[in-house]
Structure 1
Amino acid sequence: MSENSKITPGLSQVKAIAPYIGGRPISEVAREYGLDESKIIKLASNENPLGLPESAKAAMMAVMNDLGRYPDSNGYELKKVISEKLQVPDHWLTLGNGSNDILELVTRSVAQSGDEIIFSKHAFAVYPLATQAVGAKAVEVDAKPADLGHDLEAMLAAINERTKLIFVANPNNPTGSFLPGGAIEAFLKKVPSQIVVVIDEAYNEYLLPEQQYDAIAFVRKYPNVLVSRSFSKAYGLAGLRLGFSVAQAELTDLLNRIRQPFNVNSLAMAAAIAAFNDEPFLAQGAAINRAGYQQLTQAFTEMGLHYLPSAGNFVLLQVGDDDQAGSRVNLALLKAGIIVRPVGNYGLPKWLRISIGLPEENEAFIKALGQILGK
């Protein structure tokens, strides 16, 4: 078939989607700029700088001989571990190929063309993508000016008879803004019961003790609430792609009706079972994150740079006053062998999102940034 041959046109809303672009891989940057891969530092994708926990490595090795067989499509063993720790029935759980899969599943389960889905400006890029894929209307509510976080009152005001779904990210990516549990529950009390509310907690494990709240209690209380969590961040399993959701039985049943068979592989489930209860690894990661946050933000303050307080494992940093600042500084950092995340696609062209790395990685970034900005 020639390149000029006509093919069946796709759905208009699908053809209009701009594909998601993740943080650039180390190998790609090395090829493009002629750099040594081993010397490149990646602070772009909010990955755990400790990498894969040893407990997960051992668990994966233990199931290697069974990889010739399909995984357990229901994920019984992993669901058992999660349900015991969170004290919820296992039939309230859905496993996803990353929490991204969960977000798309819930969107497909409850919304279609003509419906409306509400989320905040500067929130996770998958919300508008999932909305567009089902032909629903995206209702993007302006963020609060102070922290670029969710304005819950404005989101409530945006609800109408066509609203089917609301996304609330806490902490929010890429701004790092945080909503106290009390504010979220006050919001849930005012949302009509027929509208599904997703509380996206991909960065939940990084919350400080004084910030922590029980979102699972909201699920027990409100049948229209779904909590989404990820194994990609604090648990160090980003390359294995695994997330899960907690919701009452009726909503969970909808997700599992359209979930792909075998959407989570055997290695991922074995690793997750080990990592989920690896408290020393989680504690070590949290400590490194807290220290790294202080290391970065102290340097930003000394350089006179504006950043937003963050409850996640990243910091949103303003690197200039013009709309080319983010892309300009990002390019200079790439040439220096440091990968961060430009966020112009989030409507933040003056900013960069910096994942918190190991102390030496943070220091290399700080040094390169200072040289680029003349600080």
Structure 2
Amino acid sequence: MLVSKNVEELKPYQPGKPIKEVERELGISDAIKLASNENPMGSSPKAIEAVRSILAEANRYPEGGCYYLRKKLAFLLKMPEESIVFGNGSNEIIELIIRTFVQPGEEILYFDPSFAVYPIIAKAADRNYRAVPLRPTTFEMNVDDMMDAIGESTKVLFLTTPNNPVGNYIPYPQLKRLVEEVSTDILVCVDEAYVEYATQDDCRSVLDLIRQHPNLVVMRTFSKAYGLSGYRIGYAVGSAEIIGYLNKTRQPFNVNLLAQTAAEGALDDVEFLTASVENNSQGLELITATLDRLGIGYVPSQANFILIHTGGDGSEVFQGLMQRGIIVRHIPHPMITEYVRVTVGTPEENAQFIARFEEVMRQLGRIA
């Protein structure tokens, strides 16, 4: 056999459909993509300008350890420089964690549904993985369920909060309790990809717990609020020991020159970050007010997307919207098959989504 059984059986990650692909397939133009939780406001102007200024140097290898970016981020986070490692998106960070810390016969645990990459990477590495189901109906990520699931072979917990694709979160006091109660032999990895968008007081980062808990790792990305999805850059924060091991196993020059430079510029652009978060808050308010008016269910979100109950097969709403040039996401998970996930767009994009969504729902007979 050419490859191992786990690779043969692997089902790769399916991203949201690109705009150009949908326009080509359907013969349409001006499609709107609200499928991949990207920043609808684009990239930070300071990031763009910084990248333009460095293009002539792209014939050289980048700084291997992201020295200048790490220094700047450490200052902003008030963390030691040796406590930060960067990756080619947070996906690489997840892969590094599994490859570095999970040995054959050991397992990872994660809530389900959650970020689809956790089990994909584990399976590709031929490591064991187990899902802890969300509570039915409420979709709660119950920390007691996670702790009860821990077994003798458990090595890493992945907790995504706010949770993708649902949008809910684990309240800080519950996260703190889990971190304090879990054995120090288990790595607790908290994926905070959407934390910049959070507005609830108890939906906040656990960075402040790292100094007291050396088995805690916080993962973040520049893809969402900072608008750098196409550059592919994320990072992890943890104890110097944990980050030191990840630096041993990461590839040399794993973050390219343009990504490092763009991230530095983005960190300087507080105005852009603030505007992005405000646009998201206003967009969520508009969309949820419309759903309330129509009597349509949804999961309250602390992220830059919202999970909407369609009252039937969610794929039919997904297809109906796509035929009208609105690209959203239907995730064929048994728990959320009647839902679609919609990224918050610009005010104009949100208005178009609302109009087309009402049209599709009426056509399907799901609202009067």
Same fold by TM-score greater than 0.5: yes
Return the alpha-carbon distance in structure 1 between the equivalents of residues 259 and 171 of structure 2: 32
Contact 1:141 1:151 (8 Å CA) reproduced: no
Return the alpha-carbon distance in structure 1 between the equivalents of residues 185 and 331 of structure 2: 34
Instruction: Quote the residue 2:177 is aligned against.
Output: 186
Contact 1:122 1:346 (8 Å CA) reproduced: no
Contact 1:171 1:311 (8 Å CA) reproduced: yes
Q: What amino acid does structure 2 have at the position aligned with 1:221?
A: Q
Q: Post-superposition shift, 1:253?
A: 1.6
Return the alpha-carbon distance in structure 2 between the equivalents of residues 320 and 16 of structure 1: 33
Contact 2:113 2:165 (8 Å CA) reproduced: yes
Contact 2:113 2:333 (8 Å CA) reproduced: no
Q: 1:356 aligns with which of 328, 331, 344?
A: 344
Instruction: Quote the residue 1:66 is aligned against.
Output: 57
Return the alpha-carbon distance in structure 1 between the equivalents of residues 78 and 125 of structure 2: 33
- Structure 2 unaligned spans of 5+: none
1:285 and 2:285 correspond: no
Return the alpha-carbon distance in structure 2 between the equivalents of residues 358 and 163 of structure 1: 42
Instruction: Quote the residue 1:128 is aligned against.
Output: 119
Instruction: Quote the residue 1:35 is aligned against.
Output: 28
Return the alpha-carbon distance in structure 2 between the equivalents of residues 162 and 301 of structure 1: 45
Instruction: Single out whichever of 263-272 and 106-115 deviates more from structure 2.
Output: 106-115
Instruction: Quote the residue 1:294 is aligned against.
Output: 285
Return the alpha-carbon distance in structure 1 between the equivalents of residues 200 and 141 of structure 2: 21
Return the alpha-carbon distance in structure 1 between the equivalents of residues 360 and 78 of structure 2: 50
Contact 1:112 1:135 (8 Å CA) reproduced: no
Q: 1:223 to 1:60 in 2, by over 3 A?
A: same
Instruction: Quote the residue 1:53 is aligned against.
Output: 44
Count, aligned residues: 363
Return the alpha-carbon distance in structure 1 between the equivalents of residues 208 and 332 of structure 2: 36
Q: Post-superposition shift, 1:158?
A: 0.8
**Matches for 1:268-347 after TM superposition, within 5 Å:** 268-321=259-312, 325-345=313-333, 347=335
The superposition leaves residues 83-107 of structure 1 with CA deviations (integer Å, 9 ceiling, x where unpaired) of 1111111111110101111111101
Instruction: Quote the residue 1:5 is aligned against.
Output: none
Q: What amino acid does structure 2 have at the position aligned with 1:30?
A: E
Instruction: Single out whichever of 155-164 and 127-136 deviates more from structure 2.
Output: 127-136
Q: Post-superposition shift, 1:214?
A: 4.2
**Matches for 1:210-229 after TM superposition, within 5 Å:** 210-229=201-220
Contact 2:200 2:302 (8 Å CA) reproduced: no
Q: Post-superposition shift, 1:269?
A: 0.7
Alignment root-mean-square deviation, CA: 1.3
Return the alpha-carbon distance in structure 1 between the equivalents of residues 41 and 211 of structure 2: 34
Q: What amino acid does structure 2 have at the position aligned with 1:34?
A: G
1:14 and 2:7 correspond: yes
- The percent of aligned pairs where both chains have the same amino acid is 38
Partner of 1:344, secondary structure, is: coil
Report the TM-score when normalising by structure 2: 0.96
Return the alpha-carbon distance in structure 2 between the equivalents of residues 155 and 209 of structure 1: 23
Partner of 2:162, secondary structure, is: coil
Partner of 1:84, secondary structure, is: helix
Q: 2:162 aligns with which of 168, 171, 188?
A: 171
The superposition leaves residues 134-179 of structure 1 with CA deviations (integer Å, 9 ceiling, x where unpaired) of 2222211121234313111011001111000000111000000111
Return the alpha-carbon distance in structure 2 between the equivalents of residues 51 and 147 of structure 1: 33
Partner of 1:199, secondary structure, is: strand
Q: Post-superposition shift, 1:344?
A: 1.0
Contact 1:143 1:150 (8 Å CA) reproduced: yes
- Structure 1 unaligned spans of 5+: 1-7
Q: Post-superposition shift, 1:12?
A: 1.4
Return the alpha-carbon distance in structure 2 between the equivalents of residues 133 and 102 of structure 1: 15
